[in-house]
Structure 1
Amino acid sequence: MEKYKVGMVSLGCDKNRVDSELILGTINKFYEITNDPREAEIIIVNTCGFIESAKQESIDTILEMAEYKNKYKCKMLIATGCLAQRYGEELLELMPEIDILMGVNDYMKLHKLILDFIKGERKLLATNYSDDNINEGIRLLTTDKHTAYVRIAEGCDNYCTYCIIPKIRGKFRSRSKESILEEINYLTKNGVKEIILIAQDLTYYGMDIFNENKLHELIKEISNINGVEWIRLLYCYPEEITEELIEEIAINPKVVKYLDLPIQHISSNILRGMARRTNKEAIIGIIDKLRKRIPGITLRTSLIVGFPGETDADFNELCNFLEDYKLDNVGVFKYSKEEGTPAANMENQVDEDTKEQRQKKIMIIQKNVVEELNKLKISKIYDTIIEGRKGKYFIGRSSEMAPEIDGSILIDEVRSLKKGDIVKVKIKEALEYDLIGEICDEFSK
């Protein structure tokens, strides 16, 4: 029987990307995967349901893909992911364009659901909830061959008052060390050099199994795998960063000196309202310690402005912190009032205009910080991984840059370079967010 062609649209965070890769890996032997939705007979939209803007993007994408039923070859539209898990039957009822709706714990069932739909020509809903399930398996990578995200845990136990993730993804569940190492061995044998560890909170790894943090031990074992060149850590909550983790980052040459610390705010007043287990003094303390113990470390964070009760004084405190501490990269989001979260019922909700103004001001402050920091990089030399070519420049990332979010290095080079090459680049010029450099040595790796 001729294989159906399947197309995938993946929305949201890197954890969702891993889910999409697992879905594709699960069905790859049964279907032909295509990157062109015009050729796809089955289209899957892996949705995000974290905040209002993400929900709207998911709905818009489902409707856009539904048009391919009329214009092109699509016969079946599947919605999965966080939005599907969160709204289930409501979404299926309100959007008749969807043929199969599947939640976050049902990916391994997809082939059977497709066959059942073909046989019965009826809409199907699968959003079974299990706090014990962890989606694992062979993935079909959507990243460049040299880079892969590896999820080391599922779910979250933090229960921040603004966040719906624990209700969608369930309690925190660490993957077994053996399954993680097996996956990374498979990835490196297929050309992956950069391993990016992700979870809702990396620093909590092992707490549910051993009642103590085991991230530092996991990193050490990953670094012993042949083929691993860079290990990058995303989403480390500052309140759980241990001495052992700091030491491992500092002494392990394969761990890039880069941390994503999602602090969300600096005002102790707002942090209490968010139910974060930290305060301003503790956050500043961990930043100072990281910078002292790991000189030159790159720190990225995400912030929320307009949280209920955020006063002008709270916001100014945040602005002053960014100007004083000059974090390397900052993402800023307007607070989204999500039903089912404690913060949605809080008094003193901040109006949308104020949120908008505060977001813009933070972005201006951070733009100035990045420009200042980038100028200091001129004449410095960085190991840089090649990601492709655009015009006369090769495009690369140093260890200070995570894929797709932290800028790039434009490399003026006449020699032929391949994706995944790691070369030494000397910075010549600083742009607004990107850098321009030239190769100053033969390939370093």
Structure 2
Amino acid sequence: MNEHDSIDYTLKVKELNDNRSAKNGRKPLAFIHTYGCQQNVSDSEHIAGLLSQMGFEFTDDVKKADLALYNTCAVREHAEQRVFGNIGALKGIKDRNPDMIIAVCGCMTQQKQVAEKFKRSYPYVDLVFGTHALPKLPEMLYNVMTKGRVFELGGEDVVTEGIPVRRDSKFKAWLPVMYGCNNFCTYCIVPYVRGRERSRTTEAIMDEAKKLVADGAREITLLGQNVNSYGKDLGGTINFSQLLRKINAIEGDFLIRFMTSHPKDATSELFDTMAECEKVAKHLHLPFQSGSNRILKLMNRRYTKEKYLSLIQEVKEKVPGISLTSDVIVGFPGETYEDFCETLDVVRQVEFDNLFTFIYSKREGTPAAKMEDPVTHEEKTKWMAELLAVQEEISARNMAKRVGRTERVLCENVKDGTVFGRTNENLVVRFDGDESLLGKFVNVKITRSDRSALFGELQNI
């Protein structure tokens, strides 16, 4: 499909919607619900951009929607079950509104068995499409509106530029720099549903970054399944550290964040860049998943506990005060309590500010799904509780160290007279204020803390 085809189908859907609007006296409403990672959130913003061009307005109430779209995640079983439950609940709504279009997209639908389940067991779902088919949304939607059900699960590992975007925030922006993953961790479905690594051109990224800053963005988060791999498929002309320096050189007052990083590709050059670039946030999310070398090998993570700890030591030395967060899987197939204790040891040595912890979730189609898994879920739950207790103590201690400091905070949200913001190090700060502060950097004197947030007083702006 070329650009002109996309434009033609956009106009065709808009014409259909305009005709309906003339009859109904209102524009059609779209409801979008997003599961999973920040890449999915970014994809949904592009979906919203396309739908807006096609004449849709938006609602947060699915019962009012003419189009209900669910952008799904396949990383854990629990997320998939929530999707099936929510889609099942739509049947009664569609019975009352037969013209309602129900669409499901994202990582779940890229799995053949899931797509077949939607086709077989959810006949009221009108449109199912995978991660590679997003650019074809206008054509798919036109066919649904004129012909009937559409299932589009194919597509090539390519980068499509020029898709419009309707951003959720005026001052915070997601900026994808690459798509896909080549790592094939044995527990992870992402390489199978997102495809191989493919980088956007530096020119496209820089053009978008400059426009974001010009439009008032105060925080730009660079996205990729493994951002450290950026540029490897571009012939060695640029790497991720060099890209960070280019964006850092854009004039303006804004922060640069990035995720997610893989330890095997985290380099001294990256840490030097973080230390030397004033706009790059002093926060690193570096998943280690397990502290056991035996389990790391079974996971196909391609680093050791010792290598990971050496990376942490280096980045702490080069970027004093850096905030560190990570991902941990508890109960990988074959993990013993002794292996788990190695994970606890990493947590205690590093002293992360926060951890994102998960009990292993079996994903059909991955090598780990075929491994023996003798430890009960009950036992894994006990391990998880022990890990959380250790991390909560560390988090509380780390946060308490910041009491008495004055932090520069980006104001993100306000509720009942309390402003919620984040520091350069990505720590949550709460203080009294109003909506006039949203999107601004302010100084906040930290007066107290708990394990998950800092509390303070606004200083003179």
| TM-score after normalising by structure 1 | 0.93
Q: C-alpha offsets along residues 188-219 of structure 1, whole Å, 9 cap, x if unaligned?
A: 23221100111100101111223486111111
2:132 is matched with which residue?
105
Distance 1:74 1:423 in 2: 48
Q: Kindly report which structure 2 residues correspond to 1:166-205, keeping only aligned pairs within 5 A, or say none.
A: 166-205=191-230
Matched, 1:434 2:453: yes
Of 343-352 and 11-20, the range deviating more from structure 2: 343-352
Q: Which amino acid aligns with 1:106?
A: A
Looking at secondary structure, tell me which structure has more helix per residue.
2
Per the alignment, in what secondary structure is the counterpart of residue 301 of structure 1?
strand
Deviation at 1:136, TM superposition (A): 5.4
Q: Which amino acid aligns with 1:88?
A: A
Deviation at 1:344, TM superposition (A): 0.9
Distance 1:64 1:21 in 2: 24
Matched, 1:5 2:32: no
Q: Which amino acid aligns with 1:16?
A: N
1:132 is matched with which residue?
158
Of 246-255 and 52-61, the range deviating more from structure 2: 52-61
1:259 is matched with which residue?
284
Matched, 1:94 2:113: no
Q: C-alpha offsets along residues 17-49 of structure 1, whole Å, 9 cap, x if unaligned?
A: 111111111221212221232321111111111
Matched, 1:62 2:81: no
Distance 1:343 1:232 in 2: 32
Q: Which amino acid aligns with 1:26?
A: L
Give unmatched runs, 5+ long, in structure 2: 1-18, 22-26
Give unmatched runs, 5+ long, in structure 1: none
RMSD value over aligned CA atoms?
Answer: 1.8
> 1:204 touches 1:213 (CA, 8 Å); kept in 2?
no
2:384 is matched with which residue?
359
Number of aligned residue pairs: 434
Distance 1:197 1:149 in 2: 6
> 2:354 touches 2:391 (CA, 8 Å); kept in 1?
yes
Distance 2:96 2:377 in 1: 38
| TM-score after normalising by structure 2 | 0.90
Deviation at 1:427, TM superposition (A): 0.3
2:438 is matched with which residue?
419
Give me the identity figure in percent. Answer: 30
Deviation at 1:134, TM superposition (A): 4.4
Deviation at 1:52, TM superposition (A): 0.6
Q: C-alpha offsets along residues 282-320 of structure 1, whole Å, 9 cap, x if unaligned?
A: 000000000011100111100001001111111111112
Matched, 1:19 2:46: no
Per the alignment, in what secondary structure is the counterpart of residue 436 of structure 2?
coil
Q: Which amino acid aligns with 1:362?
A: L
Distance 1:65 1:438 in 2: 45
Closer, same or farther: CA 117–73 of 1 in aligned 2, 3 Å: closer
Q: Which amino acid aligns with 1:434?
A: A
Q: Please, which of 319, 342, 348 is the counterpart of residue 294 of structure 1?
A: 319
Distance 2:225 2:362 in 1: 20
Per the alignment, in what secondary structure is the counterpart of residue 255 of structure 1?
coil
Q: Kindly report which structure 2 residues correspond to 1:351-430, keeping only aligned pairs within 5 A, or say none.
A: 351-401=376-426, 408-413=428-433, 417-430=436-449
